[in-house]
Chain A
Amino acid sequence: MPAYTAPLRDFAFVLNELIKVQEIVPTLPGYAEATEDVYASYLEAAAKFCESELAPINRSGDEAGCVFNPADHSVTTPDGFAAAYQQYCELGFPGLDCDPAYGGQGMPKTLAFPVMEMLTSSNVAWSMYPGLSHGAYAAIHAHGTDEQKDAYLPQLVSGEWTGTMCLTEPHCGTDLGLLKSRAEPNGDGSYAISGTKIFISAGEHDLADNIIHLVLARLPDAPKDVKGISLFIVPKFHTDASRNDVFCGSLEHKMGIKANATAVLNFDGAKGYLIGEPNKGLACMFTMMNAARLGCGMQGLGLGEASFQGSLAYAKDRLQMRASNGPAFPEKSADPIIVHPDVRRMLLTQKAYTEAGRALTALLALQLDIEEKHPDADQRKEAADLVALLTPVAKAFMTDNGYIATNLGMQVFGGHGFIREWGMEQLVRDCRISQIYEGTNGIQALDLIGRKVLLDQGQKLRKFSGMVVAFCKAQEGDERMREFVEPLMKLLKDTGELTMHIGMAAMKNRDEAGAAATDYLRVIGHVTYAWLWARMAKVAFDQGDAADPFYQAKITTARFYFAKLLPEVHGLMVSIKSGAAPLMTLDAEHFAFQ
């Protein structure tokens, strides 16, 4: 397994110099104590834990996987997982950004997100146990009654109990309107929940005493589609310690995140409690969807970083062939492969995607902090709009790039990348699921082009473009920034036209939007990263201590991004403009012939 060292310097750069969280976060109500030194201390504490406790059990966890014990429906997690979880709770991690009223530390998302990145880099499978708990916490905190909050939140915040999110059923994943699980009133205010949920992450395990399932199900008289779904709290153990009728039926055997239990859960009249209003269950889930999707996007980021660290170290060490223009290290039997242009292409692609992803994550975390705490409603709305627009982009673009980055990391290792002992192929496998769950990347793309762009006549997109234009305008007179600002302005103009083009085409034929969606999301992702790389270059030019290679490396990587990765948009735009016909013409019966 490649050794993991938390990128603390880059976190400090992004938080303090690029996004400048200190100018805003400590002024928000409740965050006065979130000062720069507190961020640094928290991040350092988290880095130590991730490097020393989670990274060492990442590969062994993958080899061992989770074991289902049919006799008592229990699940055994890999060696060291429960002990690390115990320690994680004792150190106070679960309550990091939770409400102090329930025992949390009330820290902002701009602090919680970098911690999450470190957890995913060091051990993504492990990180999903507390990750799902946080989702359950957020749902109950947002929609629970005071009694429900008092009953469940303290234990979720301390980590004594964990949580799950139970949406998926065998016949429905993307289309939750098809959901069948039922909830019959028991007459005492509780409900009997029946049905089968599949693919439930952290659905059963031996890390904690109790599991609080949040379950989507239908009330008896509910409408058939998505408007008839309600949300229920179904604890594995009741408050009186008796066992509820929800049992793990089996575990999935899967490609990656093997150390996270993906469970089939059978609800057999399990006692549950309605949370939020009847038939409003999906809306309840959606309130925390943005945070969950960003968390998922961060898996692409974290795994890309882990892979980059491995491949960079390897590329400096592995001797193979000579540099084309003559030996770089004549005294050695060959040159380290980092001298070769193609290896540099791979490493720089990893680096450029990862660092831009980190910047995007911090930017969105700041918007979430503002959306939650800012006293001014307009500011909250602005922040919410930006989060809404960029969440599908962050989820899909970061996980697609994470997959590219982990794959390149494996490629840098040559044949050794394919061998399990090196740990590089595990990162590819672990990353792959992030493109599928939390709404497939195809669905994220539809969300972007449909709900986020076309449905509001491009308002949110125009506001976003306005921010980028304002940045570009502010660089006028700064000759050093021309190489970034000019292509960025051109790209914005082209993107505006492209959006119009899709909008017009989709008015005549709805399939045009669906046909453009995935390419379009990638274009918007590139616009976003290009903007962030230009901003990073600006910081580096201005703050740049000439002796500090860190800033020079930012500028050089920004140049690489604009020169080598950004041009992908041209191909994407051509593809989009070719429209839906090339996709829709072939008869489904004619895709293959016997």
Chain B
Amino acid sequence: MKALVAVKRVVDYNVKVRVKADGSDVDIANVKMSMNPFDEIAVEEAVRLKEAGKVSEIVVVSLGVKQCEETLRTALAMGADRAVHVETDAELQPLAVAKLLKAVADKEQPSIAILGKQAIDDDANQTGQMLAALLGWGQGTFASKVELNAETATVTREVDGGLETVKLALPVVITADLRLNEPRYVKLPNIMAAKKKPLDKLSPADLGVDIAPRLKTLKVAEPAKRSAGIKVANAAELVAKLKNDAKVL
């Protein structure tokens, strides 16, 4: 059984991003970039499924600039078997990403596609859902547990009210939530081994996908600075303020 895992290169979660002076975007020049943490969890899950003998081949795919290769190499060092890089400098919005992933899935014919539930840069939380719709596959999003069988996947999902378990026919799209697993550290010798694993290059044109953005960013701004709070004397005053000033009660 083949697994397809999508990995995105994003600003590292430790970095405090700044908005560009012209307000067009976040400034990512020379900031540390890493694999999206949820995608790391997705890769880890695929590797565990392979170690458990459920999956026979893991293909990782990344879409975007040249340096996405580094992200793919990290996934290969974690245990993926080969990589596909759809290279483009163009802005990629979730719909374009889902279309590109569909095209790759059509070529690769995996039984499961594992993605992160969202990317920590734009937090869109859309790609997995759109991909499932485009492919016409079932979807198990926000997965905190995955059980894979020959024909089905049982996915425990983190939903607002607690946990929900769904049983899905393969092929299926799964998106990884935080508690699905704890990703492993890369073993140093695997870094060199990963360099020798195959990494195929494609372009959006090769896949015949139109990636033109459908949404326009008007302005990017820092969140408004929080003004100082006030101290209340007692609970009664607090309740009064919540009622009268904040009008939330």
Contact = CB atoms under 8 A, between A and B. Distances in A.
A545 B30 contact: yes
Interface of A: 5, 8-9, 33, 37-38, 40-42, 44-45, 48-49, 87, 90-93, 95-96, 105, 331-332, 545, 547-548, 550
Interface of B: 14, 27, 29-30, 32, 34, 70, 73-74, 77, 185-189, 191-192, 195, 227-228
Contacts of A547: 27, 29
Given A45-B186, A90-B187, A331 B192 contact: no
A41 B189 contact: no
B188 A45 contact: yes
B70 A41 contact: yes
A42 B190 CA distance: 10
A105 B188 contact: yes
A92 B185 contact: no
B26 to A, nearest CB: 13
Contacts of A44: 34, 74
A548 B29 contact: yes
Given A5-B14, A90-B187, A331-B228, A38 B30 contact: no
26 contacts: A9-B30, A33-B195, A38-B191, A41-B73, A41-B77, A41-B191, A44-B74, A45-B186, A45-B188, A45-B191, A48-B185, A87-B185, A91-B185, A91-B188, A92-B189, A95-B188, A96-B188, A105-B188, A331-B227, A545-B29, A545-B30, A547-B27, A547-B29, A548-B29, A548-B30, A550-B30
B188 to A, nearest CB: 4
Contacts of A5: 14
Contacts of B73: 37, 41
A97 B192 CA distance: 14
Contacts of B191: 38, 41-42, 45
Contacts of A548: 29-30
B188 A92 contact: yes
B5 to A, nearest CB: 19
Contacts of B77: 41
Nearest to B34: A44
A92 B46 CA distance: 23
A9 B187 contact: no
B188 A42 contact: yes
Contacts of B187: 90-92
A34 B77 CA distance: 16
Nearest to B192: A33
Given A42-B188, A91-B187, A91-B188, 19 more contacts: A5-B14, A37-B70, A40-B70, A41-B70, A41-B74, A41-B186, A41-B191, A44-B34, A44-B74, A45-B186, A48-B185, A87-B185, A90-B187, A92-B187, A92-B189, A105-B188, A545-B29, A545-B30, A547-B27
Contacts of A332: 228
Given A41-B70, A49-B185, A331-B228, A8 B32 contact: yes
Given A45-B185, A91-B188, A38 B29 contact: no
Top 8 nearest A-B pairs by Cβ distance?
Answer: A92-B188, A41-B191, A45-B186, A92-B189, A91-B187, A548-B30, A92-B187, A91-B185
B65 to A, nearest CB: 15
A147 to B, nearest CB: 26
A41 B188 CA distance: 9
B37 to A, nearest CB: 12
A93 B29 contact: no
